[in-house]
Amino acid sequence: MNLEQQRQQEMQKEYHVLVEQIKPKTRVLRNCILAFLVGGFICLIGQIFLQIYLGQGMGEREAAAATATTMVFLGAFLTGLGIYDVIGKYGGAGSIVPITGFANSIVAPAMEFKREGFVFGVGARLFTIAGPVLVYGFLISALIGIIFYLIR
């Protein structure tokens, strides 16, 4: 009886170890699949707009800019409606990495802190996440430009 109990306890322990080994991995896998599907779908919608704009005779760079603008609007609008939060709950990085996620990161904190006023509320919070993105983006682009100037 005692031996039986011991064996059962050991088996339970082994089981827990096994669960701990497998659980985070399957979570990561699940997150990755969802990120792939959601992120891919957003890019697919972007590609449809890109082809529409190219079909209207826009240049490649203009069409890409128009597509980015359209996707920014969609991301901001869906955030306002509360739909982007739902997409983000499942999509993880699939909803963050596309430019719609950038739009979401602008609207969500600005909307949240509206009660702090139009200057320090909406005005400042628009850039809670967009600020760092633009700062590092502009820094790296200026740096690349300077290096290119020196080695050209």
Partner 1 sequence: MKLLLAFVIGGLLCVIGQLFMDLTRSSITPAHVLVGFVTGGAILSALGLYQPLVDLAGAGATIPLSGFGHSLAQGAIRAVQSKGLLGAFAGGIEATAAGIGAAVVFGYAIAVVFNPRS
Instruction: Tell me if 125 sits within 8 A of 109, measured CB to CB.
Output: yes
Q: Which of 14, 23, 28, 59 binds partner 1 (CB under 8 A)?
A: 28
Residue 14 or 85 with smaller CB distance to partner 1: 85
- Least Cβ distance, residue 119 to partner 1 (angstroms): 12
Residues between 69 and 128 that touch partner 1 (CB under 8 A): 69, 71-73, 76-77, 79-82, 85, 91-94, 96-103, 105-108, 110-112, 114, 118, 122, 126, 128
Enumerate long-range contacts of 105-112, CB under 8 Å, 24 or more apart: 105/129, 105/130, 105/133, 106/76, 106/130, 107/75, 107/76, 107/79, 107/80, 108/79, 108/84, 111/79, 111/80
Q: Which of 31, 58, 90, 124 binds partner 1 (CB under 8 A)?
A: 31
Residue 56 or 69 with smaller CB distance to partner 1: 69
What one-character DSSP code corresponds to residue 116? G
Q: Which pair of tokens denotes residue 132?
A: 């760092």
Phi, psi of 113 (to 5 degrees): -105, 25
Residues between 34 and 73 that touch partner 1 (CB under 8 A): 35-44, 46-51, 64-69, 71-73
Q: Does residue 129 interact with partner 1 by CB under 8 A? A: yes
Residue 10 or 62 with smaller CB distance to partner 1: 62
